Structure 1
Amino acid sequence: MESIGKLSTRVVEHLRDPLVKSAVRVKSSIMGEAGKFLRGKEFVELLPTIISPITDPLNHEVHNAKFRYYDQEYRLTQSMIFHKQLACKTFDRIFIVSPNVRLETSEKALSGRHLFEFSQIDLEIRNAKRDDVMTLVEDLITTLIVEVKSSCKEELELLSSNPSIPTTPFTKVKFMDAYEQYGKDFETVLSSSFKEPFWLIDFPIWEREFYDLLSQDGRTLKDMDLILPNGFGETLSGGEREWEYQRIISRMEFKGNDPEELAWYMEIAEAGELVPTAGCGIGVERLTRYICSLDNVARTRLFPKVPGRSWI
């Protein structure tokens, strides 16, 4: 056989890795059980939006990914936040297994937690509150771990992983309390010290995007992150959404967002056609990494794309 290049060799080695094979099987079970669970809760599954004139502006640096097709500029979907909100005009409860492309900066290559192509279990509920979503997610995560431990015994044994069934309700930690006690790296400190998943709640207004609902105190947001224990870190972000036009404009001014970049969404908001919703996005690869006790999310995909590195 003729020799192949270094990149091709790396791809073949990855595809042959028994840990990768087991992790991908576990991930398949996670997605299957999640869909079964959500359909049982009367959620309607939607197909993902891959490209759109608008996408999540995010609150951290990424490289822009956009192109023109005829007279329209499109972007790769960084998250389906706006589409989820709009979909709740039609359905009370929706979910999507949504691919996301976020061209992260290269310093995240060594985190073990970042891919620039990954999947989320996105869900959104009309007229829901943050606590409704948190309770649902606690039930979902617990169910997933129970079912995966039953259906993927051989894979978890090969991976030397025995994830514990978390106690509900999960502990809640306020952002500023943690920040004041542990400093800017508080999430890493807490994730390493906790033995069960916990919620990080009440982020300050400057920490998140304009679409997160501002509390009556005018300082904190009705949002949350789910933090995995034993150093595995954040796997979910979500919360209640802004839906009134003037409040959205005010939040965009505070964050420095340009309404013109979200033109048709803003027109819908101005017409009073948005509805109050709450929801979240669960990082499939990060949750799989935790359940499989892996050192890197790259091992949860056959064709992983790590920031700043070549792959297929």
Structure 2
Amino acid sequence: MRHTKVKDLLSSTTTLHEVNVKGWVRTFRNNQFIALNDGSTINNIQCVVDFENIPEETLKRITTGAAVSVTGTLAESKGAGQKYEIQVSQLEILGDSDPEKFPMQPKKHSLEFLRENAHLRVRTNTFGAIMRVRSVLSFAVHSYFQQKGFVYVNTPIITGADAEGAGEMFQVTSLPIENLPKNEEGNIDYKKDFFGKHTNLTVSGQLEGETFAMALGQIYTFGPTFRAENSNTSRHLAEFWMIEPEVAFNDLDANMDLAEDFIQYVIKYAMDKCPDDLKFLESRLLEEEKSKPQAERSEMSLLEKLNFVLENNFKRVSYTEAIDILRDSTPNKKKKFQYIINEWGADLQSEHERYLVEKHFKCPVILFDYPAKIKAFYMRLNEDGKTVRAMDILFPGIGEIVGGSQREERFDVLVEKMKVLGIDEEELWWYLDTRRFGSAVHSGFGLGFERLVLFVTGMTNIRDVIPFPRTPGNAEF
């Protein structure tokens, strides 16, 4: 008999037929009731064992974490809080689990403990829910762009270009570390390296994506990116996934329209497809909030926060206007901000972004026209010579979630900006070619996928929304 998923059994419209289900034991109570989960849903199905028909040796092997195959009759449950149960006629142990050593016991574990057991944490309700939501969001990304006629482009993971100009990149080399070849100047001779030049793991697929947008019109990338930033915070990962669309002939306004429409689509998709998981994560978050001081508690539940994004148009505000608002705000005047806003040109922090969204405008906010000095070289310079056509989308509880811009399409202006910043033209000759041959207005944005999953699941540490987090000092699993 073919086995049926727990999710399908729980949504069945008929009973009193024989079924087979395979999964992992969550709990085994009173030598009779198995709570079985197979990962298809956050909900378990109760399997009622007739211990007179099951050998005692088999009963002893039904422990938390064991993999089992259960055959029996699907019946309406006599217990409260569950629709169906299986009256077991046959039970087979597929894989034993040592109850003394299995770390995922049916009790509350700290998130820190679960990170140390990342290979097993997905067997808990919390991480099962997170990873199902992550999967659905990933599909929604492709669904949105494919419906809109975008071309999916796989940009390189190994690159010689630093898109952000920050220099915090992981180097890729096949040179012998213990005996590096040197050139006549005494520097490392990268001409003898595998690629014949200095290469790194990518921080962004944007620059390569732009070249394809200049031929295919509208493209998107969705792949792994890397940053060697030695930061051990709840917001940073060394390896993460980025969603980056690039669209020819789109100006900044069209770019903001696209970003707003896209992010509302994927959030609604997750809410439609994962109601049980999100309901569980909302309850989990409410329990977590109870342990916090009143002043630190969120004013919105998880589902309220998601609906807040869906039901409100995003307010578009210039950086200059935002600085004026923040400078005159009560927390700034009373020095309650950790970073006090004194003058135009300050790089906004998460506390400032959240104030604008949660306290002042009370809706998602898109900030635009940032100072050129705090933004990347490829962003289009405005006529004032001080600001660029950049935009960031700010969300409640998280601050910036999307960053993008209209790209600098003017060859001479782009070259001048690169000179000022010391960016080698020869290294990016191919990027400059897109401005030499048929240049056009174009725009794009980047959305860190884990930042999106963090927002949708209500988790507070980015290490908890990726299967195996890579952080400073940690490359386990």
User: Do they fold alike, i.e. is TM over 0.5?
Assistant: yes
For residue 164 of structure 1, what is the aligned residue in structure 2? 307
Q: Distance in 2 between matches of 1:8 and 1:62?
A: 25
The residue aligned with 1:218 is 385
Identify which of structures 1 and 2 has the higher relative contact order when contacts are C-alpha pairs closer than 8 Å and 6+ apart: 1
Give the residue type in structure 1 aligned to 2:450: E
What does the per-residue CA deviation read over 1:265-296, in whole Å, with 9 as the maximum and x for residues that have no partner?
A: 33x25643544310111111101111111111
- Deviation for aligned residue 1:93: 0.7
Deviations 1:232-276 (A, max 9, x none): 12111111111222111111123232323324333x256435443
- Show the 5 A alignment for 1:290-305: 290-305=455-470
Residue 120 of structure 1 is aligned with which of 239, 242, 252? 242
Rounded Cα–Cα distance in structure 2 between residues aligned with 1:304 and 1:8: 8
> Equivalent pairs: percent with the same residue?
25
Q: Does 1:233 align with 2:399?
A: yes
2:374 alignment partner, one of 201, 207, 220: 207
Distance, in Å, in 2 between the alignment partners of 1:304 and 1:134 is 31
1:62 matches 2:133 = no
Which amino acid letter does the alignment assign opposite residue 377 of structure 2?
F
Cα–Cα, structure 1 residues 250 and 311, in superposed 2: closer, same or farther, change >3 Å? same
2:431 corresponds, among 259, 265, 271, to 265
1:63 CA drift (Å): 4.4
Which one has the largest radius of gyration?
2
Aligned residue type for 1:62: E
Q: Is the 8 A contact 1:94 1:123 kept in 2?
A: yes
SS in 2 for 1:11: coil
Does the 8 A contact of 1:20 with 1:301 survive in 2? no
In the alignment, is the contact (CA less than 8 A) between 1:142 and 1:165 conserved in 2?
A: no
Q: How does 1:1-312 map to 2 (within 5 A)?
A: 9-12=116-119, 14-58=121-165, 60=166, 62-67=168-173, 68-106=193-231, 109-110=232-233, 112-160=234-282, 161-162=302-303, 163-166=306-309, 167-180=311-324, 181=327, 183=341, 184=346, 185-192=348-355, 194=358, 195-230=362-397, 232-266=398-432, 268-269=433-434, 271-312=436-477
Q: CA offset at residue 84 of structure 1?
A: 1.2
CA separation in 2, counterparts of 1:248 and 1:7?
Answer: 47
Instruction: Identify if the C-alpha distance between structure 1 residues 61 and 55 changes in structure 2 by more than 3 Å, giving closer, same or farther.
Output: closer
SS of the equivalent of 2:198 reads strand
In structure 2, runs of 5+ residues without a counterpart are 1-97, 103-112, 174-192, 283-301, 333-340
Q: Secondary structure at the match of 1:260?
A: coil
Deviation string for 1:144-201 (max 9, x for gaps)? 2222111101111221131214245311232233335251555423315525321121
Match of 2:188 in 1: none
RMSD: 2.6
Q: Name the SS of the counterpart of 1:279 in structure 2.
A: strand
Contact 1:88 1:94 in 2 (8 A): yes
* Partner Cα separation in structure 1 for residue 149 and residue 421 of structure 2: 35
Give TM-score scaled by structure 2 length: 0.59
Aligned residues: 305
Cα distance in 2 for partners of 1:37, 1:144 equals 8
Distance 1:306 1:116, change over 3 A: same
> Which one has the bigger helix percentage?
1
* Greater CA drift, 68-77 or 31-40: 68-77
Q: Is the 8 A contact 2:122 2:131 kept in 1?
A: no
d(CA) in 1 for partners of 2:469, 2:439:
36
SS in structure 2 opposite 1:252? Answer: helix
Structure-1-length-normalised TM-score: 0.88
Decide whether the 8 Å contact of 2:247 with 2:444 is kept in 1. Answer: yes
Answer whether contact 2:271 2:278 (CA < 8 A) is retained.
Answer: yes
Partner-residue secondary structure (3-state), 1:206: helix
Q: Mark the CA change 1:287 to 1:54 in structure 2 (over 3 Å): closer, same or farther.
A: same
Task: Give the letter aligned to residue 85 of structure 1.
Answer: E
Unmatched segments (≥5 aa) in structure 1: none
**What amino acid is the match of 1:101?**
F
Aligned-partner Cα distance in 2 for 1:226–1:127: 21
Look up the equivalent residue of 2:365 and give its one-letter code.
Answer: F
1:191-220: CA deviations, max 9, x gaps?
155253211211101011110001111111
